[in-house]
Chains A and B, each alone.
Chain A
Amino acid sequence: MSAEAPTRDEDLVTALGAGDPRALTELMQRYQRPLYGYLMRMLNSREDADDVFQETFLRVVRHAQRFDANRRFRPWVYAIASNLVKNTYRARTNRGAQSLDPGGEDDGPSLLSTLEGRGREPIESAQLEESAERVRGAVERLPEKGRVALVLFYYQGLPYAEIAEVLEIPVGTVKSRIHNALGKLGRELARREATS
């Protein structure tokens, strides 16, 4: 890109809408890590995360010309991705697919935590995995609305206002959902501990 290339995400989308495909590559480079992390966190499947990432940017390209430059790009792209995540859940339900972290007590460590555990010392890795597995399993069993708000806020670092834009709900509702999700998480972990 030229020296005067736009640096704001919103400028890049405008440039993409005006026909500059290099802006697309730049946007993907900026968002591949956070968005892919979000998708992996929500979907727990590399294949699904890949698909949704590609579909998200396909939609960005298709709707770039309609993008309102006064809006922020990040909530927009997360909103698209979140809707696609919802569709993926629905498709999984329809085909009866099981999550990689179904939450059963005897299911063993998830693929995600197993992969993440590589490279650690065995004992440390096992302890961390056990604890992380317990929490991640509980997070994944949260109701979808609360889980999305929780993941966007704590794992993706989005501020309340942007989460409100992503989910199209008031900021107060975002806070409420996060608060309720924390409560449910605590109850779920306590219940699991009591039964184990």
Chain B
Amino acid sequence: MSAPEETPELDLAALVRGEGEAPSGDVAAGAEALRADLESWTAPEPPADLIQRTLAAIALAPAEAAEPAEAAEPMEAAEVTEPSEAQPAEAQPAAGGGALEVLTTQPFAPTPQTKRRGLIVRLVTQALAACLLFGVSASFTAFFYPAVVHALEEGRLERCQQRLKHLARALHAYRTDHPDAGKLNGGALRRALIEGGYATHEDFVCSGAGGDLHGAESYVGTSAVEALEQPVFWDRFGNHPQGFNVVYGDARVELLDVNDFQFKPEREGDH
């Protein structure tokens, strides 16, 4: 956060309501103009199918590497369909306008009867539209449920990969600081990294389903590798439905299918 700028001691909300004392003519004029605009402005109605199209865009969006939520750069464009011509124009209920108003009152000047009828028609139509919208939303939710679940699972997978990368770097730092340390596997390696301050307990908890199942024992690891191309940490069975994340000594991460996963490190006490 930047340093605070000068803070005027004014009730800015009251100022625009016409209740405050403006310190200068410009601010008073700006507040007055804004008040007039606020009184006349009605937020435009979102398109009726906006939620459905957003669900579709989410379902069709390609999986991407994790990035900060407030990242400045735009992501790959999600598929966006053109708004349908059937979608309503800017309905403005507060102004008494909008597509429905046009349909029910033109081309004749409204009489009290037509006004009342128009109101009933509008209420009934709006109720039907609300029911239809709810039904369509529910249908779309059901239709895209697997896709949304898939998108969520992709997110877990990416977070897991970030953790594994971090663990590989932690192991590298540990081995640099302790060149004479013996080969460590599993829990012994985990304790050494945590106690040495190279990693935290949370780093060893997988973000996938395995995190709940295995806790800090979500990953299998070994320092008993000589080459950077060899795996140092990898997922336990059941962490992710898509397969196994494996990180190599050079912090490269790979998602392997269960059938590809053949590496079997030495276990302590195997010899």
| Interface residue? A95 (CB, 8 A) | no
Q: Distance (Å) between the CB of A47 and the closest chain B CB?
A: 8
Provide the bound-state CA to CA distance between A136 and B89, in Å: 20
A-chain residues with CB within 8 Å of residue B4 when the two chains form the complex: 169-173, 176
| A186 near B78: Cβ-Cβ < 8 Å | no
- B137-A172 in contact (CB<8A): no
A65 touches B207 (CB 8 A): yes
**Docked CA distance A53–B56 (Å):** 13
B37 within 8 A of A: yes
- Rounded to whole angstroms, the CA-CA distance of A155 and B40 in the bound complex is 11
Is B50 part of the binding interface, using a Cβ–Cβ cutoff of 8 Å? yes
B197 interface residue (CB < 8 Å to A): no
* B75 x A83 contact (CB < 8 A): no
Q: Using a CB-CB cutoff of 8 Å, which residues 142-196 of chain A contact chain B?
A: 150, 153-155, 168-173, 175-179, 181-187, 189-190
A92 interfacial contact with B, CB 8 Å: no
Q: Residues of A contacting B97 with CB < 8 Å?
A: 117-120
User: How many of chain B's residues have a CB under 8 angstroms from any CB in A?
Assistant: 78
Contact A119 B92 (CB under 8 A): yes
Q: Which residues of A contact B53 (CB under 8 A)?
A: 50, 54
| Chain B CB within 8 A of A99 CB | no
- A112:B38 contact, CB within 8 angstroms: no
Question: Is B40 in contact with A128, judged by CB distance below 8 angstroms?
Answer: yes
Q: How far is the CB of B21 from chain A (nearest CB, A)?
A: 13
Indicate if the CB atoms of B5 and A176 lie closer than 8 Å. Answer: yes
Q: Could you say which of A3-11, A17-25, A102-110 contacts chain B? A: A17-25
* Given A53-B54, A54-B57, also A59-B2 (CB < 8 A): no
A25, A53, A76: the one within 8 Å of B69 (CB): A76
CA A168 to CA B58, docked complex, whole Å: 27
- Segment 28-70 of B: residues with Cβ below 8 Å from A: 28-34, 36-38, 40-47, 50-51, 53-55, 57-58, 61, 64, 66, 69-70
Q: Tell me if B34 and A172 are in contact (CB < 8 A).
A: no
B74 located at the interface, meaning its Cβ lies under 8 Å from any Cβ of chain A in the complex = yes
Cα–Cα, bound, A136→B30 (Å): 12
Does A46 belong to the interface (CB within 8 Å)? yes
Q: Is A168 within 8 A of B12, CB to CB?
A: no
B95 on interface, CB distance cutoff 8 Å: yes
**Cross-chain contact of A155 among B5, B38, B89 (Cβ < 8 A):** B38
Contacting residues, chain B, for A155 (C-beta < 8 A): 38, 41, 43
C-alpha spacing A61/B59, complex, angstroms: 10
A-B contact pairs, 10 of them (CB 8 A): A25-B140, A46-B47, A54-B53, A63-B69, A178-B12, A182-B30, A182-B31, A186-B28, A189-B30, A190-B26
